[in-house]
């Protein structure tokens, strides 16, 4: 049995709205192996970031279990949760809005050390800040700079240093490169990979960029309107996409070749409302293969190939196609 650092069971988050209950995350299940990376992909509004924040309890889940090293995070009290946060951190999407503009680089990185009373001596805190800055590639001369004086790449390095200050085991990377230039994206991704190798970190990497997630992840989970519709090892998912939504997403990835261009699959139809959705496949209204079965209950994740799970009402057809 794999050594899983995180196990998510039936994680659910609903938001009350004037029109009904918005199903942001709906009975999501997955595990992440220790030292591995799970990429979570899907279009904007599918529940990726909400899932990550519920795991860390930055947003309180409606129901479900989040087992981190065997402890149910959802049941911890404030004091226990504060201690647990040392092992569970987050890198936010926007490296500017996630940093306090009134604090210098030194103050931002030192803040978790001071608040959690990890270090009390001023000199020790200063040495630790310089050590973290060196780890993420920030020059010492920037120690007294403010976020508005720096570019996006340096700001994101500050966010990474702040996350590393507590020596965490698990980090939710919430689209950490989507707001950066392409050349800077590569630098940040290489930094995260290096940190994972050196420190044995486990990542939940949230993104809408499939090219990035293929490069960075061990396993990939595809989300659609609050539910995971497919999950598999990265290489397997790209070689054998089984869910129609995954097929459409992969077809949109640009290929720098005139000979091996993918046939683009255009998704048509109306998006199912996430507010009190019907008891049916949520992709059915946009799926070219939709049949009557798709409207008779929500399909469950089923293993159709080794470690390859898909939630689709066409399971019989998929098994026939894939042996």
- What is the distance in angstroms between the CA of the first residue and the CA of the last residue of the chain? 26
Measured between alpha carbons, how far is 314 from 224 in angstroms, rounded to an integer?
A: 17
Q: CB–CB of 28/46 below 8 Å?
A: no
Residue 21 per-residue DSSP state: E
Q: How far apart are CA 236 and CA 147, in angstroms?
A: 41
Contact 243, 312 (CB under 8 A): yes
For position 1, what pLDDT does the model report?
A: 42
**Global confidence as pTM:** 0.90
Buried b (16+ CB within 10 A) or exposed e, 257-267: eeeeeeeeeeb
Longest dimension (CA), the chain: 68
Segments in the chain below pLDDT 70: 1-2, 255-262, 315-323
Residues in the chain: 323
Tokens linked to 255: 């290929």
Six token digits for residue 34: 């220790």
Q: Which pLDDT does position 50 carry in this prediction?
A: 96
Q: Residue 288: its pLDDT value, please? A: 86
Predicted pLDDT of residue 323: 47
SS3 304: strand
Assigned token pair, 184: 């800077």
Say if residue 16 is exposed, middle or buried (CB neighbours under 10 Å; 0-12, 13-18, 19+).
Answer: exposed
């Amino acid at each position: 049995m794999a050594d899983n650092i995180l196990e998510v069971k039936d994680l659910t988050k609903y938001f009350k709205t004037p029109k009904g209950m918005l199903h942001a995350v709906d009975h999501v299940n997955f595990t992440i192996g220790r030292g591995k990376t799970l990429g979570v992909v899907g279009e904007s509004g599918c529940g990726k970031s909400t899932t990550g924040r519920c795991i860390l309890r930055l947003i309180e889940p409606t129901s479900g279990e989040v087992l981190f090293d065997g402890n149910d995070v959802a049941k911890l009290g404030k004091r226990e949760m504060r201690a647990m946060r040392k092992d569970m951190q987050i890198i936010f999407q926007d490296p500017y809005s996630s940093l306090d503009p009134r604090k210098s680089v030194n103050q931002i990185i030192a803040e978790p050390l001071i608040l959690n009373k990890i270090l009390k001596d001023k000199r020790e805190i200063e040495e630790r800040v310089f050590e973290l800055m060196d780890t993420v590639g920030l020059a010492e001369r920037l120690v007294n700079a403010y976020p508005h004086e720096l570019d996006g790449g340096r700001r994101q390095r500050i966010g990474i240093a702040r996350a590393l200050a507590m020596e965490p085991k698990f980090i939710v990377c919430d689209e950490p490169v989507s707001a950066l230039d392409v050349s800077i994206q590569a630098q940040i991704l290489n930094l995260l990979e290096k940190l994972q190798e050196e420190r044995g970190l486990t990542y939940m990497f949230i993104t809408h960029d499939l090219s990035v997630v293929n490069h960075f992840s061990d396993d990939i989970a595809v989300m659609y309107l609050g539910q995971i519709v497919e999950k598999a090892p990265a290489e397997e998912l790209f070689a054998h996409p089984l869910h129609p939504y995954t097929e459409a997403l992969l077809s949109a990835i640009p290929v720098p070749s005139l000979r091996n261009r993918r046939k683009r699959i255009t998704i048509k139809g109306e998006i199912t409302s996430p507010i009190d959705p019907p008891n049916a496949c949520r992709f059915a209204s946009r799926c070219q293969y939709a049949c009557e079965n798709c409207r008779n209950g929500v399909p469950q994740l089923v293993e159709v190939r080794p470690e390859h799970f898909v939630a689709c009402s066409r399971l019989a057809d998929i098994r026939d196609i894939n042996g």
